[in-house]
Amino acid sequence: MEEKRAAVQMRDITKRFGSTLANDRVWLDIYKGEILALLGENGSGKTTLMNMLSGIYFPDDGKIFINGKEALIRSPRDAFSYGIGMIHQHFKLVDVLTAAENIVLGLKEPGRLDMNKVAQRVQEICDAYGFDVDPNQKIYNMSVSQKQTVEIVKVLYRGADILILDEPTAVLTPQETEKLFAVLRAMRDDGKAIVIITHKMHEVEELSDRVAILRHGQFVGDMETKKTSAQDMTNMMVGRPVTLNIERPEPVNPQPRIEVKNLTVRDAEGTLKLEDVTFTAKSGEILGIAGISGCGQKELLEAIAGLQKTESGSICYVKDDGTREELIGKDPTAIAAMGVSLSFVPEDRLGMGLVGSMDLTDNMMLRSFRKGRSWFTNRKEPKRLAENVVKELEVNTPGVSTPVRRLSGGNVQKVLVGREIAAAPTVLLTAYAVRGLDINSSYTIYDLINKQKKAGVAVVFVGEDLDVLLELCDRILVLCGGKVSGIVDGRSAQKPEVGMMMTRLGGKTNG
Amino acid sequence: MAKKNSGPVLHISKRDNLPWYGAWAIRGTAILLALVVCAFVTTALTGENPLGVYKTMFQGAFGSKRKMWILGQNLAILLCVSLAVTPAFKMRFWNVGGEGQILIGGLATAACMILLGDKLPNWLLICVMTVSAMAAGAVWGGIPAICKAKWNTNETLFTLMMNYVATQLVAFFVIVWEVPKGAGKIGIINQSTQAGWLPQIGSYKYLLNILIVAVLVVVMYFYLARSKQGYEIAVVGESERTARYVGIPVGKVIVRTMMLSGAICGLAGLLLVGGTDHTITTTIAGGRGFTAVMVAWLAKFNPFGMVFTSFLLVFLGRGAAEISTIYGLNHSFGDILTGIILFFIIGSEFFISYRLDFLKNNGKEQA
Amino acid sequence: MFDLVAFFPRAVMQSIPLLFGSTGETLTEKSGNLNLGIPGIMYVGGICGVIGAFFYEQAGASNGFLAVLIPLVCCLVGSLLMGLLYCFLTVTLRANQNVTGLAMTTFGVGFGNFFGGSLIKLTGAEVPSIALTATSGYFRKTLPFAESTGVFGKLFLSYGFLAYAAIAIALISSYVLKKTRVGLQLRAVGESPATADAAGINITRYKYVATCIGSMIAGLGGLYYVMDYACGVWSNNGFGDRGWLAIALVIFTIWRPNVGILSSMLFGGLYILYLFIPTGTFLAVKELYKMLPYLVTILVLVLTSMRNKRENQPPESLGVPYFREER
């Protein structure tokens, strides 16, 4: 490699939120013509650090140099002027505006606003990098990967040459990820400095030139990707050696538990979300569900849990003695009243699974508060349960009367999974159970799920990381545009094969 | 936010946890500051010295036995309405229709008194009045709730419009029942028989009202904090999706809670018409439906806290009324003082939830 | 017989305060602020104009230009201060918008009625009531051809300048929101402040400016009411609930000021329809007719909520304070 030129130098950057130290005297260099992977567990301060570069936060202490000169980045506008553009994990797009309108948002160009000219420039950028964006399409009509493309075009339109991407592949298919990586490599070769925040080790190895690792808000080291391994990087992130293998015990005496036949679901707008879906989930087995985001996973789980209106088909619960109960047309209360113990870990933990502003005890009560005839609630049981979950799952919290919103992502998920498992379910539905979780927490969750499997629970595991699905699940059902694209054996299936199945039926989704 | 060459000077961050006494110290300071400002405003308009102003206000509120009873009565009604709107607010349902629900409850009461006054024994009449007042209020609160539950109709405006519909309905019946013809008002109902007048306890005219509301405070506290329905309300208020996920029938809870809310407002209407004024006018609610929103919010939806916040507002209202009477000023003076106090308390909430730090180290000049 | 020629101008005159109010509130809501203080602000705007005119008339001067300018400036300053207060509380101090708005309405209505009722007493002026006939005369001056063009003139030219200003402001607001950079950014602020912020838009400034301009426009509605509609006579609570109707109109017009022009006229018509419907001897029925605007508002609320289309939704972050470092 020729002589490296530092685009960004961060020196002694410190940032506090209330009493938590998010970044503690961090040093970080970002070079031109290089892709840097920023690694760290959740809460290690990666996003906070990058937010200070993009002007969302202002450091409490420390200095930032851009191209060797000290820079004060007080706002996103300042960041643009230094050529820094960030693509956030949660897209920063206005849904009711068009792509072009989103792209020019906030720009101070002289003269009148001429949307035609904007559209033309957007097209030029798209042509240069091979993007496919309709400038006049409204954001709410776009798929996740289209939205991400708009975000990237937005940053390029501003002439950024330092790009920061926060977990850009979390919502993409393998094919889309490949495309994105190709674009990023092209940009790197163009001389741009690129930072990517990710949890996926294989992506780090595949894409990055250098890795930098943060732990508990502190910088612990950086190295060339070629000279390290996934294991070493993980050990550095966690601070102690960890094993990276997911356990997969053989299923014991699997029996049909949930039988879904010809299930068809339409959403409120009348769009077909699931079409003619048929499969069986068995006890003592983990059934993985793979698919591009938004191709029916959510509707499928919610239909089984009694939260989604269905159009036709049947969902049968098979009891141990072979009797069958139809679940369609019943709400969660009715399903529980039938004696079916069904637990559901939804994708949206704080917006659906838990109530953020309530404490652990009150959240434990969500499932059980109706028990008994009394007019009043009983908080003794839930409190004991909360204390139990905190102890067993090593939830990091000041106490059981802390609002769950204050906990970190991994701990929130532990509370949620802990509650759902405490109900001694016979069916456990999980949606993106490890999304946004660091390695350590992810493994805790895999362990919990495996324990349930061993106890004879029928587990349905909706995941996005194919590597994990292939390591954890016994069978994998692949959805494509709301249809079953196939069911494969988790032990023998290959990643490219599953990836193809995810896109085979028509490829594009309408959601 | 501060815009200087050297980056922000002021850093605002969320407080982790302020102890309750810290919060109340901030609120107390805000109220004190507000009272000082109020005193100066009053001085500017009347010329009396600020301390004298408060002496006058005290006299207006506590000056005589009669004034204290009126204070108690006003406090009871405002508190009653505030308690009524609270469950709805906990559910994040912005019920600003308290006014209409009170009116319609009062109208139902008056209708019973006028139409059934000489047909039923008094105890039965009062029972019928109570039931119909609360039912009327429940219906008035229930209609917007049903639309909210079914189509997510904006409840703030719906309940607001229901106020005016109720007002016009009362105006209509006032003309229908006017005594004497052409007077444009109803006058004291059943003046001679006192049929349907809520009973007096001993010689204390307003004691019954006050006792009813006192009981209601306790009941409401336990309903919200300890009952299963109260828990459901809290879950629905925080996140409808969570509520659905655990099988709480969201629509049913919305309608049930709003009917409860409306019914208690209807009860306030009963207390006003049957227990206090013994007549009905379009202005009988006197803006309490709106004031109650602020009372409930200032007390952070805690029924016991509302006793204090409603006391504060009623005291101001009575005190300001005294000042306007003495100085021949308009009675809306009270609203101005109330507004000033509210602004201060609303503003003070910021200092309870957030912490301000002044940054010292940004003397970098190269920028 | 229904007398359209008499009805239409009255409906228009009724509609103007509503139009000012709803245009102002639309701009405010586009920035994500739900200002329930608009009714109070309209009272303040009205009374400030009255106070200005009152002192000017008391001073005995009678320059037509100043007689219009002074109340106008007073009204704008008064409502601007209210707007600033609202912004300070809800934007800078991130207070609850509903509660702040209601408190402002309590304060504003009280402020209007207090000074309306006590102005004479406070200043020791020797007049029996506030009747600013001279000033009102200037405000009510119609276009020169209003008399000579018969029915056409009566229908379209017989209004004071503020009425035309209301329509012009609505059209300009509509253009700014739809076609300009500022409008685009304002819409982004109301929809998703976090996005707008990340795009480098100064959220605080947009919220302040939009809300304050909105308040000033709404304040003009109060001024029009006393000076033109009520012929310069202030009566307590005379302005009534028009402020609330103006807020309802915002939803009715699906956040489009140009639609507001016609719909406010519709509401204005409903507001006075009871005067034109024969009731016979049973006068009480008139009270029921007065319900019409409210019932129609309810109906529209329900209907628009039933068919919900993405473009017709309120700004997404309406009513939510924004804090960049919220975690």
Closest CA in chain A for residue C313: A96
Q: What is the pLDDT of residue A503?
A: 74
Q: What is the pLDDT of residue B359?
A: 60
* Nearest residue, CB atoms, B245 vs list A58, A353, A375: A353
Contacts of C103 in chain B (CB under 8 A): 294, 339, 342-343, 346
Sheet of strand A162-166: strand arrangement = A84-87, A162-166, A193-197, A34-39, A210-215, A218-224
pLDDT digits (tens, 9 = 90+) for B37-53: 988 888 888 777 878 88
- C198, A88 in Cβ contact below 8 A? yes
Distance (Å) from the C-alpha of residue C156 to the closest C-alpha of chain B?
31
The residue assigned the tokens 């499932």 is A367
Closest CA in chain C for residue A75: C200
% chain A with pLDDT above 90: 39
Q: Which two tokens stand for residue B154?
A: 């904006």
Q: DSSP 3-state assignment of A163?
A: strand
Say whether both A284 and A228 belong to one domain: no
- Higher local confidence (pLDDT), C279 or B216: B216
Q: What is the DSSP letter of A350?
A: I
Rounded Cα–Cα distance for residues A111 and A90 (Å): 32
Contacts of A320 (CB under 8 A, 6+ apart): A255
Q: DSSP 3-state assignment of A348?
A: coil
Q: What is the pLDDT of residue C326?
A: 55
Rounded Cα–Cα distance for residues B38 and B52 (Å): 12
Contacts of B234 in chain A (CB under 8 A): 355, 358, 362
Contacts of A161 (CB under 8 A, 6+ apart): A7, A32, A83, A191, A192, A193
Distance (Å) from the C-alpha of residue B297 to the closest C-alpha of chain A?
17
Q: What is the pLDDT of residue A505?
A: 58
- In this structure, is residue C107 part of a structural domain? yes
Using the beta-carbon criterion (under 8 Å), do A355 and B239 form an inter-chain contact? yes
Using the beta-carbon criterion (under 8 Å), do B234 and A358 form an inter-chain contact? yes
Using the beta-carbon criterion (under 8 Å), do B153 and C326 form an inter-chain contact? no
Domain boundary among A198, A213, A238: A238
Domain boundary among A238, A259, A294: A238
- In this structure, is residue C319 part of a structural domain? no
In Å, what is the CA distance from A93 to each residue of A89, A464, C198, C199? Answer: 12, 23, 10, 9
DSSP β-bridge partners for residue A222: A212
The stretch B78-99 carries a mean pLDDT of: 93
Say whether both A273 and A125 belong to one domain: no
pLDDT digits (tens, 9 = 90+) for B139-158: 999 999 999 999 888 888 89
* Nearest residue, CB atoms, A113 vs list C180, C192, C310: C180
pLDDT digits (tens, 9 = 90+) for A15-56: 987 677 889 999 999 999 999 999 887 778 888 899 999 888
- Residue A495 sits in which domain range? 251-341+424-511
Contacts of B131 (CB under 8 A, 6+ apart): none
Contacts of C318 in chain A (CB under 8 A): none
Q: How many domains does chain C have?
A: 1
* Nearest residue, CB atoms, A105 vs list C185, C313, C316: C185
Q: DSSP 3-state assignment of C197?
A: helix
From the number of C-beta atoms within 10 Å of its C-beta (0-12, 13-18, 19+), residue A247 rates as middle
Q: What is the pLDDT of residue A49?
A: 92
- In this structure, is residue C317 part of a structural domain? no
**Cβ burial B102-123 (10 Å sphere, 16+ → b, else e):** bbbbbbbbbbbbbebbeebeee
pLDDT digits (tens, 9 = 90+) for B261-285: 999 999 999 999 998 889 999 989 8
Rounded Cα–Cα distance for residues C40 and C106 (Å): 7
- In this structure, is residue A230 part of a structural domain? yes
Residue B17: pLDDT over 80: no
Contact status of A396 with chain C (Cβ, < 8 Å): no
The amino acid occupying position C174 is S
* Nearest residue, CB atoms, C196 vs list A56, A79, A105: A105
DSSP β-bridge partners for residue A274: A265
In Å, what is the CA distance from A462 to each residue of A287, A290, A294, A346, B199? Answer: 8, 6, 12, 10, 66
Q: DSSP 3-state assignment of A82?
A: coil
In Å, what is the CA distance from A85 to each residue of A27, A99, A509, C193? Answer: 20, 17, 29, 18
The amino acid occupying position B231 is Y
Q: Between vectors from CA C297 to CA C294 and to CA C300, what angle results, nearest 5°?
A: 155
How high is the ipTM of this complex? 0.89
pLDDT classification of B8: cutoffs 50, 70, 90: low
Say whether both A151 and A13 belong to one domain: yes
Closest to B75 measured CA to CA, from B338, B304, B315, B335: B315
Rounded Cα–Cα distance for residues C157 and C143 (Å): 6
Closest to A288 measured CA to CA, from A507, A448, A493: A493
Closest to C220 measured CA to CA, from C176, C150, C160: C160
Closest CA in chain C for residue A78: C200
- Higher local confidence (pLDDT), A143 or C229: C229
Q: Which two tokens stand for residue A400?
A: 């059981």
Q: What is the pLDDT of residue B152?
A: 87
From the number of C-beta atoms within 10 Å of its C-beta (0-12, 13-18, 19+), residue C12 rates as buried
pLDDT digits (tens, 9 = 90+) for A347-380: 888 889 999 889 999 999 998 888 888 888 888 8
Rounded Cα–Cα distance for residues A410 and A448 (Å): 13
> Which pairs with CB-CB distance under 8 Å and at least 24 residues apart come from C150-154?
C151/C5, C154/C5, C154/C9
Rounded Cα–Cα distance for residues A222 and A242 (Å): 19
- Higher local confidence (pLDDT), A413 or C131: A413
The stretch B83-99 carries a mean pLDDT of: 92
Rounded Cα–Cα distance for residues B337 and B334 (Å): 5
Contacts of A94 in chain C (CB under 8 A): 187-188, 191-192, 195-196
Using the beta-carbon criterion (under 8 Å), do B364 and A17 form an inter-chain contact? no
- B158, C301 in Cβ contact below 8 A? yes
Q: Which helix (H) or strand (E) holds A221?
A: strand A218-224
Q: What is the pLDDT of residue A351?
A: 85
The stretch B102-125 carries a mean pLDDT of: 93
Rounded Cα–Cα distance for residues B129 and B269 (Å): 10
Q: How many domains does chain A have?
A: 3
Residue B16: pLDDT over 80: no
DSSP β-bridge partners for residue B14: B354
Rounded Cα–Cα distance for residues A39 and A52 (Å): 17
* Nearest residue, CB atoms, B346 vs list C103, C204, C287: C103
Residue A456: pLDDT over 50: yes
Instruction: Classify the C-alpha dihedral A230-A236-A239-A240 as positive or negative.
Output: positive
Q: What is the pLDDT of residue B53?
A: 80
* Nearest residue, CB atoms, B346 vs list C95, C112, C284: C95
Say whether both A96 and A202 belong to one domain: yes
Q: Write down which chains contact chain C via at least 3 CB pairs under 8 A.
A: A, B
Say whether both A15 and A120 belong to one domain: yes
Distance (Å) from the C-alpha of residue B332 to the closest C-alpha of chain A?
40
- In this structure, is residue C316 part of a structural domain? no
Q: Which two tokens stand for residue A468?
A: 């994990």
Residues of chain A numbered 318-337 and touching chain B (CB < 8 Å)? 331-334, 336
Contact status of B251 with chain A (Cβ, < 8 Å): no
- B303, B296 in Cβ contact below 8 A? no
Say whether both A494 and A460 belong to one domain: yes
From the number of C-beta atoms within 10 Å of its C-beta (0-12, 13-18, 19+), residue C129 rates as exposed
Mutate to test the interface with A, among B233, B246, B362 (most CBs of A within 10 A): B246
pLDDT digits (tens, 9 = 90+) for A63-117: 999 998 999 998 888 898 899 999 987 788 998 899 999 999 888 877 788 888 8
Q: What is the pLDDT of residue B269?
A: 96
Rounded Cα–Cα distance for residues A338 and A323 (Å): 12
pLDDT digits (tens, 9 = 90+) for B293-308: 989 988 889 999 999 9
Mutate to test the interface with A, among C195, C318, C327 (most CBs of A within 10 A): C195
pLDDT classification of B9: cutoffs 50, 70, 90: low
Rounded Cα–Cα distance for residues C53 and C138 (Å): 11
- Residue C252 sits in which domain range? 4-308
- In this structure, is residue C177 part of a structural domain? yes
Say whether both A160 and A308 belong to one domain: no
- In this structure, is residue A245 part of a structural domain? no
The residue assigned the tokens 């009860």 is B267
Closest to C19 measured CA to CA, from C215, C207, C163: C163
* Residue A69 main-chain phi, psi, to 5 deg: -105, 140
Contact status of B321 with chain C (Cβ, < 8 Å): no
- For chain C, the maximum distance between any two Cα atoms, rounded to a whole number of angstroms, is 67
Q: What is the pLDDT of residue A510?
A: 36
The residue assigned the tokens 């793979």 is A290
The amino acid occupying position B5 is N
Distance (Å) from the C-alpha of residue C253 to the closest C-alpha of chain A?
18
Using the beta-carbon criterion (under 8 Å), do C201 and A97 form an inter-chain contact? no
Tell me the HSE value of A460 on the side-chain side, using a 13 A CA sphere.
Answer: 31
Q: Write down which chains contact chain A via at least 3 CB pairs under 8 A.
A: B, C
Tell me the HSE value of B224 on the side-chain side, using a 13 A CA sphere.
Answer: 23
Using the beta-carbon criterion (under 8 Å), do C195 and A17 form an inter-chain contact? no
- In this structure, is residue A72 part of a structural domain? yes
The amino acid occupying position C139 is F
In terms of DSSP bridges, do strands A458-462 and A285-290 run parallel, antiparallel, or are they unpaired? parallel
pLDDT digits (tens, 9 = 90+) for C39-93: 999 999 999 999 999 988 888 777 888 889 999 999 999 999 999 999 999 999 9
Q: Which two tokens stand for residue C149?
A: 């063009």
Closest to A302 measured CA to CA, from A269, A340, A338, A273: A273
Pairs across A and C, CB distance < 8 A = 76
Q: Which helix (H) or strand (E) holds B57?
A: helix B50-62
Q: Which helix (H) or strand (E) holds C123?
A: helix C97-123
Residues of chain A numbered 17-46 and touching chain B (CB < 8 Å)? 17-19
Residues of chain C with pLDDT under 70: 1-2, 308-311, 325-327
The residue assigned the tokens 């940054």 is B359
* Nearest residue, CB atoms, C301 vs list B158, B293, B336: B158
* Residue A293 main-chain phi, psi, to 5 deg: -65, 140
Q: What is the pLDDT of residue A108?
A: 80
Contacts of A212 (CB under 8 A, 6+ apart): A28, A36, A37, A38, A39, A219, A221, A222
From the number of C-beta atoms within 10 Å of its C-beta (0-12, 13-18, 19+), residue C66 rates as middle
